[in-house]
């Protein structure tokens, strides 16, 4: 008696070029990088907190250089971060009181 599709496929195992693997597939990385060379980076660099800090550091550095900037300008400067990541980081920096939004949707340092 056959009760699952896997059992049917197991019967055809000898006809297939490689044995079937019925384990759960690996989940893709949340941070897909098409330029990835296959080497694993340290766990710390893969964490969302590390990425958030990196984005916030980028924003603060740009504000030090330019005095004020819009979210669109930030997105145009870098391709490393998505617009949604930049906007999220800008919002967190605003809440923390590190930057403020001025007329015209420009951001500037508070300190």
Percent of the chain with pLDDT over 70: 68
pTM (two decimals): 0.57
pLDDT average, residue stretch 46-67: 87
Q: Are strands 99-101 and 106-109 parallel, antiparallel or unpaired?
A: antiparallel
CATH number of 68's domain: 1.10.10.10
Report pLDDT for 36. 55
Say how many domains are in the chain.
1
For residue 2, is it within any domain? Answer: no
For residue 38, is it within any domain? Answer: no
For residue 54, is it within any domain? Answer: yes
Give the count of beta carbons closer than 10 Å to the beta carbon of residue 56: 19
For residue 90, is it within any domain? Answer: yes
For residue 53, is it within any domain? Answer: yes
For residue 85, is it within any domain? Answer: yes
For residue 4, is it within any domain? Answer: no
Residue 96: domain span: 45-109
For residue 98, is it within any domain? Answer: yes
Considering only 1-10, 27-36, 87-96, which range has the smallest mean pLDDT? 27-36
User: What is the full DSSP assignment across 39-95?
Assistant: PPPPHHHHSHHHHHHHHHHHHHHHHHHHSEEEHHHHHHH-SSS-HHHHHHHHHHHHH
pLDDT category, 7, cuts 50, 70, 90?
A: confident
**Tens-place pLDDT, residues 11-30:** 766 565 555 555 655 555 45
Highest mean pLDDT of the ranges 11-20, 22-31, 39-48, 101-110: 101-110
């Amino acid at each position: 008696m056959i009760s699952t599709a896997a059992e049917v496929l197991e019967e055809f195992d000898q006809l297939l070029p490689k044995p079937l693997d019925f384990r759960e597939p690996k989940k893709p990385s949340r941070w897909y990088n098409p330029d990835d060379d296959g080497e694993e980076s340290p766990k710390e660099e893969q964490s969302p907190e590390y990425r958030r800090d990196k984005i916030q550091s980028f924003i603060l550095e740009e504000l030090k250089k330019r005095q004020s900037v819009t979210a669109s300008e930030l997105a145009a400067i870098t391709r490393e971060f998505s617009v949604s990541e930049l906007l999220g980081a800008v919002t967190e920096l605003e809440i923390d009181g590190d930057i403020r939004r001025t007329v015209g949707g420009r951001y500037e340092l508070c300190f």
